[in-house]
Chain A
Amino acid sequence: MSEEVQVPIASDMDVVRARQEGRALALRLGFSVSDATLIATAISELSRNIVSYARTGSVLMRSIREAGRTGMLILAADAGPGIADVPLALRDGFSSSGGLGLGLPGVRRLMDEFEIESAAGAGTRVTVRKWLP
C-alpha cells in the first residue's frame, strides 16, 4: 500500500506544484501540519535547484515503510551539469548561483535522512526521508 506522486520539474510553477503535492501526501501519511511544512519547504528548495541548475528534472515522492515505521521519501533527480564538489555544496554558506548558499545544508536540517549522488556532467540525485515520529 504505497502512495507515489511524481512531478516533472521544468519551471518555477512546477516548484509550487511539487511542494503542494508533497504537503498533501505528507498530511495523508499522518504527518503534522508542522512537519508537512518542513517537508514542503525541503521539496521547494530541491525542485528549485533543478530549475536553476539543470532546467528540467523530476521530483518523486512516496510513502515508505521500514521496521514498523512509516515515512516519506523524496527523490529529486536531474540530468543537469551535476555538482563537481559535493562536500563543498553541503557546507553552509556555499553557493555557486549567488543564492544564500543555504539550499542543501538547509534541506538536510529539515529532513531526517539525506543522500546525494552527483558528479560533474552526471546529473544530480538527492534522496531525503522523513519518518513519522
Chain B
Amino acid sequence: MEVPILKQGHFLIATIQAALSDDDLVQLRTALVHQVVRFRSFGVIVDVTAMDVLDSFASRTLVAISKMIRLRGADTVIVGIQPEVAFAMVQLGLTFEDIPTALDLEEGLAYLQQRFANAAD
C-alpha cells in the first residue's frame, strides 16, 4: 500500500493509513527522499497514527528516513505514535534516537513552523 505524500507549503506530510509491510516502508523512504529534493522542502512529517506495530524494522526505517532527509538539510518529525505502540517499543528496546516526535499532526506542524519561522512564509 502506497503512502500518500501531501505537499503543504515548505513541508511534506506523509500519512500512513494502514499497517505497512517492510517493502511499503522502504518505498516510503525512497519517495520522501526524492520529494524533499523535488519540492525543496524544509521539513517532513510522518504520521504513524495508523501503524498497529512499530517493530525493529519499522523503527530502523524511520530513523533512516530522518537521517537521509537531514542530509538534504530538512527535518523530520514523527507524529501519532499510539500509547500502546510506544509501550511495546520501549519494552523491545527501540528508540527513535534523536528524531523529534510530536503528539499529532497539529503539534508536528507547529514544531516545524517554529523551527523554520524565518524561512517559511
Contact = CB atoms under 8 A, between A and B. Distances in A.
Contacts of A13: 21, 23
Contacts, number: 78
Interface in B32-66: 52-57, 59-60
Interface of A is mostly: helix
Contacts of B53: 19, 37, 40-41, 44
Interface of B: 19-23, 52-57, 59-60, 82-85, 87-89, 91-94
22 contacts: A12-B21, A12-B23, A16-B20, A19-B52, A20-B19, A34-B87, A37-B82, A37-B84, A38-B84, A38-B87, A40-B52, A41-B54, A41-B88, A41-B92, A44-B57, A45-B92, A102-B92, A103-B56, A106-B91, A109-B91, A109-B92, A109-B93
Contacts of B88: 37-38, 40-41, 110
A33 B93 contact: no
Nearest to A51: B22
Interface of A: 12-13, 15-16, 19-20, 23, 33-34, 36-38, 40-41, 44-45, 48, 92, 99-100, 102-103, 105-107, 109-110
Q: Shortest 5 CB-CB distances between A and B: which pairs?
A: A12-B22, A106-B92, A37-B84, A44-B55, A34-B84
